[in-house]
């Protein structure tokens, strides 16, 4: 390139820059990915997390697993998870705060000031405050379900009113920006419901088809009403010590919240 050609090239740079800017402005901007903070903790039920997390992954959300530190956290099935954010590094502003269940672990969280403080602080700013299974007990203990309709696993959902919530015994309960779901498998129902709010119903339907969510359980025993009194009584007897511990923590949270 001679001196004259080099000068012409330099003169063309402002025009080229203008063309690039015009093309960029004409291209539709992509909406920001929903920022979802998913609490993990020792003793949690893995399926409570994985069901919604699968939906959020297909939705291409910015999903963060959050705990006090990044050491492996044991779940109910022995598969360990590690957080990619701590309470200190988790963004203050989340689109979704999510808490999974696992009764023993949930009880421990209810009495842990650090956990309650984190859940309270992020929940106060989050666009949606959500849970599956006994995760709603943690939300309630943090004062985040006071004045809201909510649900939980069937054997502890009656504890929610102690902490200011209004019990609604449904698989997924939506009250303004609070979404709570019942036990374990309802996490997929919850995930799809929230996907429709974060995106739209067509997107949620596509995700449902992608994961082939078309449940046909082999037995009619998925609720106390279907299972009958004998089987329900057996489960309650087996879980009685944990349920009693959950009630004790709910009573203490009630006192702490001034209800």
Give SS3 for 56: helix
Q: pTM score, two decimals?
A: 0.88
Q: What angle do CA 240, 243, 248 make, to 5 degrees?
A: 125
How far from 38 is each of 20, 66, 95, 125, 238, CA to CA, in Å? Answer: 39, 6, 11, 15, 29
Q: Helix or strand or coil: residue 109? A: helix
Which fold would CATH assign to domain 36-215+222-257? Rossmann fold (3.40.50)
Is 133 a known active-site residue? yes
Q: What is the pLDDT of residues 3-56, one digit of tens each?
A: 555 444 445 444 434 433 543 444 456 778 999 999 999 999 999 999 999 999
| Strand locations in 53-195 (E) | 62-67, 73-74, 80-81, 85-86, 96-99, 128-132, 149-150, 166-167, 172-175, 178-181
Q: One of 40, 133, 172, 250 is an active-site residue; which one? A: 133
Q: Phi and psi of 158, rounded to 5°? A: -70, -10
pLDDT digits (tens, 9 = 90+) for 107-147: 999 999 999 999 999 999 999 999 999 999 999 999 999 99
């Amino acid at each position: 390139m001679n001196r004259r050609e080099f000068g012409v090239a330099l003169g063309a740079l402002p025009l080229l820059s203008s063309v690039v800017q015009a093309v960029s402005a004409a291209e539709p901007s992509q909406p920001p990915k929903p920022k979802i903070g998913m609490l993990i903790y020792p003793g949690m039920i893995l399926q409570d997390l994985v069901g919604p997390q699968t939906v959020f992954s297909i939705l291409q959300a910015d999903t963060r697993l959050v705990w006090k530190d990044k050491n492996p956290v044991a779940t109910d099935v022995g598969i360990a998870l590690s957080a990619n954010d701590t309470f200190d590094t988790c963004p203050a502003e989340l689109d979704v705060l999510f808490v999974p269940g696992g009764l023993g672990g949930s009880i421990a969280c209810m009495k842990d000031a650090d956990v309650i403080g984190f859940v309270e602080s992020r929940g106060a700013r989050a666009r949606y405050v959500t849970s599956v299974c006994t995760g709603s007990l943690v939300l309630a203990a943090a004062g985040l379900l006071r004045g809201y309709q909510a649900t939980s696993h069937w054997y502890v959902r009656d504890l929610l009113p102690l902490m200011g919530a209004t019990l609604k015994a449904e698989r997924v309960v939506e009250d303004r920006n609070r979404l709570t779901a019942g036990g374990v498998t309802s996490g997929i129902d919850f995930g799809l419901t929230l996907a429709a709010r974060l995106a739209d119903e067509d997107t949620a339907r596509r995700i449902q088809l992608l994961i082939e969510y078309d449940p046909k359980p082999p037995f009619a025993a998925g609720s106390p009403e279907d299972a009958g009194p004998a089987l329900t009584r057996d489960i309650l007897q087996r879980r009685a010590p944990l349920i009693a511990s959950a009630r004790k923590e709910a009573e203490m949270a009630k006192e702490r919240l001034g209800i």
